[in-house]
């Protein structure tokens, strides 16, 4: 693998089944439903990296850090 090759893979955009938007490989690997390696995400084979089941799994978790609910304790 060439040094720039891993950078290219992390910059590739793949549609997120959970959010219905394109996300980078790095963003996918930070998702609670993603379990695969960056290579799997970049190839787009969701069976190898995504556990999300539309209609069954929650889309969001918790509250944003700046939400009033968390700020006020």
Q: Is the pTM of this model over 0.85?
A: no
> Is 31 contained in some domain?
yes
Asked if residue 55 belongs to a domain, the reply is: no
pLDDT at 36: 85
**3-state secondary structure at position 68:** helix
Residue 4: predicted pLDDT: 46
58 lies in a domain? Answer: no
Residue 44 CB coordination number (10 Å): 12
Task: Give the domain extent around 27.
Answer: 6-50
pLDDT band, very low/low/confident/very high, at 63 (cuts 50, 70, 90): low
pLDDT tens profile 20-61:
999 999 998 888 899 989 999 999 999 999 999 998 998 877
- Asked whether residue 42 is domain-assigned, the answer is yes
Number of domains in the chain: 1
Q: Does 43 fall in a domain?
A: yes
In a domain, 71, yes or no: no
pLDDT in the model for residue 72: 45
Does 65 reside within a domain?
Answer: no
Contacts of 1 (CB under 8 A, 6+ apart): none
């Amino acid at each position: 693998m060439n040094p720039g090759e891993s950078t290219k893979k992390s910059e590739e955009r793949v549609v997120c089944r959970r959010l219905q938007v394109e996300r980078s490989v790095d963003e996918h690997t930070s998702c609670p439903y993603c379990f695969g390696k960056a290579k799997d995400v970049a190839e787009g084979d969701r069976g190898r990296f995504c556990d999300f089941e539309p209609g069954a799994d929650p889309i969001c978790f918790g509250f944003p850090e700046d939400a009033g609910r968390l700020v006020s304790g």
